[in-house]
Structure 1
Amino acid sequence: MAAVPGLTPTTLPADAVEVGRVQEAWGIKGWVRLHPHSASADVLLGARHWYLCPPEGRYARGFDAFTGVVGLEVEEVKPHADGIVARLAAVADRNAAEALKSARIFVSRADFPDTGNADEYYWVDLIGLQVLNREGVELGTVRDLLPTGPHSVLCLEQTEGDKTVERMIPFVSVYVDRVDLPGRRITVDWQPDY
């Protein structure tokens, strides 16, 4: 695999979020097929500037298109069949597109589209928030979210003495009273011994 000429080295913005990866070349004119990390591809479809990073783990073998971070303008991106395809600046032909296979795609959090609903949140905004119950008892910090089909579940982690306690709370209005993003906290109707 050869390096792609014309890619400009840069740095990731402080608010960069990994949203997908390049799956493979698509066609002969430099398009790539994408694998989004989310069921909703709104971020990939809406952002006009992407940051590509080399792959990690099993995807890294044989990748030498670039090292570090490169920034690319998105010329066109669209849904196609059961996936998403994109044409990126500086990726002129199939060979250049093939060289990007498995590259990780990052987007600045500032480029995410508005959810359009005060009760909808991006998971990336919830991770790291403190969770307290109505009585002010700390239940932990959001470590992850778990999709379960009908709703998501907050996965909390808290250190109590010399042990780590994990809790899971359904992220539904029955249990979640308030999400305060600026205050970095979530208030819930939940007890420590549940």
Structure 2
Amino acid sequence: MSTPSLNDLIELGAVSEAQGLQGQVKVRPHSSEPVALLSSKAVWLSLIPRRDAGVSASVEQASLTQYKVKNAKMHSGNVVMALEGISDRDQALALKGARILVARDAFPKADSDSYYWVDLIGCSAVNLQNEELGEVIDVTENGAHGVIAIGDASSKTIKQLVPFVKEVVQNVDLDNKKITLDWQSDW
């Protein structure tokens, strides 16, 4: 398989430690529900700096390495993975700090009213009065629900933080990259 573009890969977690003696790795997932990470048949590992660190990352700089996933399971808030070719603790420890990336097209299909946060980034946000609020530039979780950061994508300036809850989010149209919110522009 050829190395994909970094734009096609989504970072889902990072290797935090070796787990056990047989080469399993403990992955700290970026999501509280790491469905895509648990269901992945293959992952890419990289030690390159994060995209938001101001470094222009390319495939050449990335030195991505693909591993087939033998199994993955949740354990104490982490994902424990067994990767093909990693068979002892020393090999697993050598991967500590590596970013775990998965091809977006390998994610399982989301339910009809569920969304992968990565798909929301870049959507334009409008309110019920059809006023342009900005572009979704980030999505985070505050413990109770998701929060979308709306602002100017070119300058990464956040204008508003909006709760991603059904009372506020009226419609998500991923095909047209548009989210309609019950939200005022001056809130």
CA distance in 1, matches of 2:134, 2:65: 37
User: In structure 2, what is the Cα distance between the partners aligned to 1:82 and 1:176?
Assistant: 29
1:94 aligns with one of 71, 89, 92: 89
Partners in 2 of 1:169 and 1:9 — Cα distance? Answer: 39
The AA in structure 2 aligned to 1:73 is K
The amino acid that maps onto 1:95 is D
The amino acid that maps onto 1:134 is: L
Q: 2:27 aligns with which of 27, 31, 34?
A: 34
| Cα gap change, 1:49 to 1:121, in 2 (>3 Å) | same
Structure with larger Rg: 1
Instruction: Give the secondary-structure state (helix, strand or coil) at the position aligned to 2:93.
Output: helix
**Root mean square deviation, CA, Å:** 2.3
Query: Superposed, which structure 2 residues align to 1:108-123 within 5 Å?
Result: 108-116=103-111, 118-123=112-117
Structure 1 residue 82, shift from structure 2 partner: 4.3
Superposed CA deviations along residues 70-94 of structure 1, whole A, max 9, x for unmatched, are 1110112122344321111111222
Matched, 1:23 2:16: yes
Tell me the CA shift for residue 131 of structure 1.
0.6
Residues 139 and 158, structure 1, Cα contact 8 Å, conserved in 2 = no
Unmatched 5+ residue regions in structure 1? Answer: 1-7, 58-66
Counterpart CA distance in 2 for 1:94 and 1:153 is 38
Task: Give, in whole Å, the separation in 2 of the partners of 1:171 and 1:82.
Answer: 23
Instruction: Find the aligned partners of 1:15 and 1:46 in 2 and give their Cα distance.
Output: 18
Checking the alignment, whether the CA contact within 8 Å between 1:25 and 1:97 is kept in structure 2 is yes
Q: Tell me what 2:99 maps to.
A: 104
Q: What amino acid is the match of 2:66? A: G
Q: Where in structure 2 are the equivalents of 1:151-190 lying within 5 Å?
A: 151-158=145-152, 166-190=159-183
**2:58 paired with 1:49:** no
Q: State the Cα distance separating 1:41 from its structure 2 match.
A: 2.1
Question: 1:26 and 1:110 mapped to 2: Cα distance?
Answer: 28
Mean CA deviation greater in 129-138 or 150-159: 150-159
The percent identity for this pair of structures is 38
SS at match of 1:10: coil
Conserved in 1, the CA contact under 8 Å of 2:137 and 2:152? no
- Letter of the structure 2 residue corresponding to residue 157 of structure 1: G
Residue in structure 2 matched with residue 63 of structure 1 by the alignment: none
Post-superposition offset of 1:45: 1.1
TM-score in terms of structure 1 length: 0.79
Contact 1:26 1:33 in 2 (8 A): yes
Q: Is it true that 1:193 corresponds to 2:177 in the alignment? A: no
Please name the residue that 1:80 is paired with.
75
Where in structure 2 are there 5+ consecutive unaligned residues?
A: 51-61
Distance (Å, rounded) in 1 between the aligned partners of 2:106 and 2:48: 22
